[in-house]
Every structure is written in structure tokens, then in C-alpha cells.
Amino acid sequence: MRKIASRWVPHDLTEMQKWLRYDAPRNHFERYESEGETFLRRIITLDETWAKSYEPQLKRLSNEWRHYGSPRRPQVRQNPSNVKIMVILVYDYDGVILTHTVPTQQTVNAQYYCSLLEHNLRSALRTKRWHILQNPPIIFAGQCSAACNASCG
């Protein structure tokens, strides 16, 4: 006999949530089989990430004229600052549609995502991917998809 630690999971899913996670990919695969490449081109995905800000000095900016044989001036590598910025990326089959920087001290919840989708994404789609608006896009909002679907309608 041996001692085994339990495995940590991020959350406990209900049977309905497990079924939805099983059923959704199967439905998408069936749609892909019937619609083909056009189905993939209609998918828009949202993702959020933290970015640390820093301004690296380019190597050529640190160049200076020296005599032959004189030693190089040491250059200290910059560390990222403690300033973290949340960035929301929206992209599709062809690349990035929208890069949105969340203001500091802003809580990102379902209402925030809904306003982002309604105001920022719609205008970005009009300018960058107007052809997607001819057929309604399929938006996968990642972790917030359930909350967005519940509050955005």
C-alpha cells in the first residue's frame, strides 16, 4: 500500500455541464462535416491574458564608437516591471481581429464581455472582416461563454 494525494481539479462539474462539454464538440464536428471550410471561417474566439509591460532598449541603440581593443560597455538586461495589463484578444481563421486592453481596476465579468462584443467587436468586424457579417459568426468566448450566453442573450 502507498499514500497517494488526490488530484486537484479547477471546479466540480454537474452532470448537465459534463454532458454539454461532451455534446458541444460532437455537434461542431457534425456541422463541420456538413458545412466544411465555411463553418471554420465563421468561428470567432476570445481569449484573455496578462501581459507585463517593459520597454526594451534595442541593441543597435546601445551601439557606440570605440577604439579597437577597448572593452565593451556592459549592458544590464531589463526585467519586466510589476505593471500587469490584461489583454483580451479576439481572433478567427485569418488572424487577430481585435486587441483590447482592459483598464486597470476594471472587473472583467459577463457584462464587460457583452459590452466588448457589442461595441468594440462589431466595429472591428465591420472594418476588418465585413464578409463575416453576411452570415452570423459563431463566437466562442472561452471561460466566459456560459456567463456571456446567459446575460447577452
Give pLDDT, residue 80. Answer: 63
List the beta strands (DSSP E) in the chain: 43-52, 84-92, 95-101, 138-140
Give pLDDT, residue 149. Answer: 53
In the predicted model, residues of the chain with pLDDT beneath 50 are none
Give pLDDT, residue 33. Answer: 94
Give pLDDT, residue 81. Answer: 67
Q: Does the global pTM surpass 0.85?
A: no
The residues spanned by each domain of the chain are 44-54+78-141
In terms of C-beta density within 10 A (0-12 exposed, 13-18 middle, 19 or more buried), how is residue 65 classed? Answer: exposed
